[in-house]
Structure 1
Amino acid sequence: MNDPMKKMNDFFQSRPKRTLLDSIDAYLSQKPLSNNIPTEIVENEHQFIITVEVPGIPKEDIDVEILGEDVCIKIKEQNHNNRTIGGKKYIHIPQHVSKANMKAVYRHGLLEISLMKKKAKKIEIE
């Protein structure tokens, strides 16, 4: 007997362990940084600069890395001034920004991440 509903049900019951949708769901379900943490993104002629305010967080509890087309900021969860701070934040890197020479500096409660913009290639007009 060819029951299409049974075939569809069997398909969803026997699907692979990790699918694209599972990967997307895992990515989106990661705990985001607290909404109370101000983040500012500024571009100037030469740089793409991300500034995150995390006063009182030890430098050792902050990780910054590039994952694909995003900068990932991870802060170890902790209680600080009667609030919980921690989690991950992803910030998309535009295509005109180079991922090669990222620099992160943490001073006085401000984490500043700088990335250089790619230089435009001039095309000669014939």
Structure 2
Amino acid sequence: MSSLVPRSIFDDFFKDFAPAFYVRPLHGDALPNPSKIKIDVKEDDAAYTVHAEIPGVPKDDIQVSIDGNVVSLRAEVQQKDEKKEGEKVLRSERYYGAVERSFQLPADVDAAQAKAKYDNGVLTLTLPKKQSGATQRLKID
């Protein structure tokens, strides 16, 4: 959900001067919230096309699940720390963990025909619409 509180242009500038600034963990900020996986959804008569930005994640660490008209994206993000002799880490903003996002489409998806492609940090999903059964006209007695 988006916040209804108006944001000031100074919010991002002063966020590092929060009262807890000096007690933040050495290994980075909190994991990005689900809105950090940015998506574009397009629709035509036969299918939905979803483009999701998931940069820096190997394709083996991305999971897509489809349940009716709900699509869920999950990415495992891992930080690889390498400490060399004589080196001292002053601050690291990289992180590890999982980010997840789900969204609902207007119609059910044919999961058996769905396709996914990951290239240059962008996940492209082609999600065919499930064909509903033929409409049957009832005879009124």
Larger RCO of the pair (alpha carbons < 8 Å, separation 6+): 2
The superposition leaves residues 31-78 of structure 1 with CA deviations (integer Å, 9 ceiling, x where unpaired) of 985423311111012211111011221111111112354211111133
* Distance verdict in 2 for CA 1:36–1:96, change over 3 Å: closer
Question: Equivalent residues in 2 for 1:1-126 (5 A)?
Answer: 33-79=33-79, 82=93, 84=95, 86-119=98-131, 121=134
2-side partners of 1:68 and 1:33: how far apart? 24
Letter in 2 for 1:40: D
- In structure 2, the CA distance between the partners of 1:43 and 1:123, relative to structure 1 (3 Å rule), is same
Runs of 4+ aligned residues of structure 1 deviating over 4 Å after TM superposition are 119-124
RMSD value over aligned CA atoms?
Answer: 3.4
CA distance, structure 2, for counterparts of residue 96 and residue 67 of structure 1? 8
User: Is contact 2:48–2:128 with CA below 8 Å preserved after alignment?
Assistant: yes
* Structure 2 counterpart of 1:47, one-letter code: A
Equivalent position of 1:10 in the other structure = none
The SS at the match of 1:74 is strand
Give me the identity figure in percent.
29
Q: Return 5+ residue gaps in structure 1 as ranges.
A: 1-30
Q: Which has the higher strand share?
A: 1
Supply the distance in 1 between the matched residues of 2:64 and 2:126 (Cα, whole angstroms): 11
Task: Compare 77-86 and 34-43 and name the one that shifted more.
Answer: 77-86
SS in 1 for 2:35: coil
Deviates more, 1:58-67 or 1:76-85: 76-85
Aligned residues: 96
TM normalised by structure 1 equals: 0.57
Does the residue aligned with 2:74 lie in a helix, a strand or coil? Answer: strand
Amino acid at match of 2:120: H
Residue type of the partner of 1:72? S
SS at match of 1:55: coil
